[in-house]
Structure formats: C-alpha cells, structure tokens
Structure 1
Amino acid sequence: MKDYYKIGEISKIYGIGRDSLMYYEEIGILNPFRDSNGYRLYNISDIWKLNLIKELRILNFPMKTIKEYLENRNIKSTNEMLEKEIKLIDEKIEELISHKENIKKRLNAINETVKNTAFDVIEVKYMKKRKALKLNANIKRDEDVDFLIQKLQKEYENRFNILGNNNIGAIFSLESINNNIYNEFNSVFCFLDENEDVYNITFDENYYITMSYGGSYSKNKEYIKNMLEFCEEENYEVIGNPIEIYKIDIHETGKVEEFITEIQIPIKKRL
C-alpha cells in the first residue's frame, strides 16, 4: 500500500470527480499537500474521510452537515445525525404520499367526468351551498378566462390545482345573454371543498337547470337558448347569472372535441 495518492488515483478509486475533491479541499474537509511538482497528494490516513463522505452523500446528507460531523464525531453525534435524517425522510414520505393522493384525485376527476357525463340532457338539480374563490373581470375572449384562472390561483397562493380540476368555471353576464351575446363573462371561479376555510364567495343552495356538452365553447349559445326555452316551457324563472364549468378543457387535452363543459342556471318556479 502506498502512503500517498494523487488526485487522479483518488478520483478513480472513489468515483468522485476532481471538481468535487477540490471542493472538499476548498471547504476544509480534505487537506492534501503538494509534492515538488505541485501535484496534490492525499494521505492514506485521510482516506476514511472519503469513505464517510461517499456514504453520507448516498444518504443525501448535505456537505455542511458532513463537514460538521467530521469535525466532531462521537457516538452521540452519530446517533443524532442519523435520527435527524430519519425524521427528514419521514417528512418526505408524508409529502410524497400527499402528492400521490393529489395526483390520484386528479386522475379520478378526469376519468369520472369522461365516464359519467350525460351529454345534451337538460336536468333540474338541487345544489347545496358551495364555497368558491372568484375573480371579477370583464371577459370577452376564451383566452382571457385561462389567464384570469391562473391569476386567481396565484392570488390565493395556489390553493387549488388547474390540471384535473373539474370545478373551475366562469360566470356569464345574463344581461349580455338577454342581448343575444353569449361570450361575455363577469368573473371566473373555482369551487372548493366544503371544509375549506379560505374563500371569497358562496353560491347559495338552490335549484339549477343543468346540461353538459362536448366540443367547442361556441356551442354554448345553442345550449343556453335551449335551456332558457326549457325554463319557459316548465314555468321556471331564471334568478341569477348562468355559470359554465370546464370539466375537461385545454389543460387536459389539445383536442377540442374532447372538451366537456357543464352549464348551470339558477331557477325558481314561477308563482
């Protein structure tokens, strides 16, 4: 066995790049000396440090922690360091489990929407009170809806997801609809879980006529007209702005024919 090893030899033996070895020297973990030609020479007695560094890096310990540990090692500090890492790993596991459940929820929302949506069927449904986040704006283009939804999400510190969320929508201007304009909206919104504490609007419990359609949003004019005709035939009065919920949209698919949109209009029976 040699007493000293050059940087190239150490790099090859340990699979550690020269840059990393020089960084370890820079922060004071390794202290090679120079031979007469200026080459770095590593003392065989310091090799144990590289053994520990390599193993601790595999365990994802940061270099700051490794340096502190190498400077003050004993059974107590070893146990404390490993126990602390176990705690961090447990926290990461919980975070990953939560992340996995979030993704499963999005997948379920997409698949349930595709599987269970009945198209072009007008129904009367009773809706419980719904909490939501809402952003008011004068919207006249579909692109504005996407921009404002992103703005709403950012404003409320990403409290809701966009991909796989079938509770995002926009509120029509009933006044515009009465003037035969079907692409103007007053606001965008996202319905929230009923146990959510942060919200800025509630949609009161009420009866709604509802209908889902597939494809381009340009169809909403035809469907809203049909729904309003249904109201007249069934003696219902429209008591608020219609809403449009984007169950499947540009975020889940680039194929317009795969879009799924639901229209809801609040109503009451005429006396």
Structure 2
Amino acid sequence: MDKHYTIKEISNLLNISSNKIRFYEEKGLIHPIRNDNNYRLYTKEDLAKLQLILTYRNLNISIENIQSLMKNCSKDNMINHFYNQIKIIDDEMQKMRIIKTSLEDIMDSIYESDKNNYTDYIIASVKKLNRINNIKHNWSDKWNFDDWSKSYDNFV
C-alpha cells in the first residue's frame, strides 16, 4: 500500500498552509482521497502536483492557467505556455530596465545641477518614460517575426 499523507504532513513538507492546500483542492488542481473519518489523505502524486503548482505560482502563473496546463499536459502546450511566460518576464524586465535608467538619469541631473528644484528633471524623465512606453505599446509586428520565431522554435 502506498503511503498517504495528512494535510498537516503535506503542509509541513511543502511549507505551505493547510488553507492553501484546501484552496488548490477547491480549484480542482488536486483530488485527495478521504478516509473513513472523512479526513483528506494525499498520495505521492498529490504531493508532486502540489510541488508543481507551487513552482507555477512562483513563476506568477495564474490559477486559471495552471488549471489549463494540468488538464492538457502535452509537450507542445507546456512549451507554448512557458514561451508566453518568458515573453511576459522579458517585458517586465524591460520595464524595470527603463525605470532604472530613468532613475539614474534623474540622479545624474540632480547631481550635476546647481539648482535645488528638481521637479523639472523628474517631469522630463517621466515624459521620456511615457514616450518609450507609448512606442512599445503601439509597436506592431509588421514582419510577422513573432509567428516566425514560434514556428522556428517548434521546428527546432
């Protein structure tokens, strides 16, 4: 007989709350069995699923996307999903680089200035940041590069 774990044991093993485990059960991500006293019992497979769920959550994947991934665990589906997650992360990293550069520009301007009024530098930096964001949001893939790169990745 395979070992079964109580919710407390799972909670301790994964360092998560029992409520979080119950939440994942409510969302249909795990399906513990019940014993004669109606207590939840978890298998090694449940433990592995929970670890995968926690990994997905650490990657900021939504519960809805996790549900979709776990229903369709095909190789192509997972590759496509992780490709999209990488794209989201790349976008966020680009935003952070832009913000960092803007802050550095403001600091440089303040450092080199003889004035005590730094509002003009901050406003100029915000305008620059807004221009960059507008360009990024209004950009379109005129050459269909994104689709080409996806098909190339799938081919390789």
Question: Normalising by the residue count of structure 2, what TM-score does the alignment of the two structures yield?
Answer: 0.70
The residue aligned with 1:110 is: 110
In 2: Cα distance, 1:97 partner to 1:64 partner: 29
Structure in which a larger fraction of residues adopt helix = 2
Aligned to 2:80: 80
Distance 1:53 1:167 in 2: 45
Task: Specify the SS of the correspondent of 2:119.
Answer: coil
How far apart, CA to CA, are the structure 2 residues paired with 1:5 and 1:80? 34
Provide closer, same or farther for how the CA distance between residues 15 and 164 of structure 1 changes in structure 2, counting only shifts above 3 A.
farther
Please give the secondary structure, in 2, of the residue aligned with 1:5: coil
Decide whether the 8 Å contact of 1:107 with 1:164 is kept in 2.
Answer: no
The 1:15–1:28 alpha-carbon spacing in structure 2 relative to 1, beyond 3 Å, is same
State whether structure 2 residue 119 is matched by structure 1 residue 165. Answer: yes
Deviations 1:206-251 (A, max 9, x none): xxxxxxxxxxxxxxxxxxxxxxxxxxxxxxxxxxxxxxxxxxxxxx
Q: Give me the whole-angstrom Cα distance separating, in 1, the residues matched to 2:48 and 2:96.
A: 34
* SS of match in other structure, 1:37: coil
Q: Aligned residue pairs: how many? A: 128
* Equivalent position of 1:91 in the other structure: 91
For the Cα contact (< 8 Å) 1:33–1:42, is it kept in 2? yes
Partner residue in 2 for 1:268? none
CA distance in 1, matches of 2:49, 2:86: 22
Q: How big is the shift at 1:25?
A: 0.8
Q: Post-superposition shift, 1:2?
A: 4.1
Q: Cα distance, 1:40 vs. partner?
A: 1.1
Instruction: Identify the residue that residue 136 of structure 2 maps to in structure 1.
Output: none
Q: How do 1:47-62 residues align onto structure 2 when only pairs under 5 Å count? A: 47-62=47-62
The C-alpha deviation readout for 1:21-40, integer Å capped at 9, x for no partner, is 01001111111232222311
Deviation string for 1:125-154 (max 9, x for gaps)?
A: xxxxxxxxxxxxxxxxxxxxxxxxxxxxxx
Gap runs ≥5 in structure 1: 118-162, 169-189, 198-271
Percent identity between matched residues is: 28
Does the Cα contact within 8 Å between 1:34 and 1:41 map onto a contact in 2?
A: yes
The equivalent residue for 2:6 is: 6
Give 1 or 2 for the bigger CA radius of gyration: 1
One-letter amino acid matched to 2:63 = M
TM-score by length of 1: 0.42
Distance in 2 of aligned mates of 1:22 and 1:7:
9
Matched, 1:41 2:41: yes
Q: 1:97 to 1:2 in 2, by over 3 A?
A: same
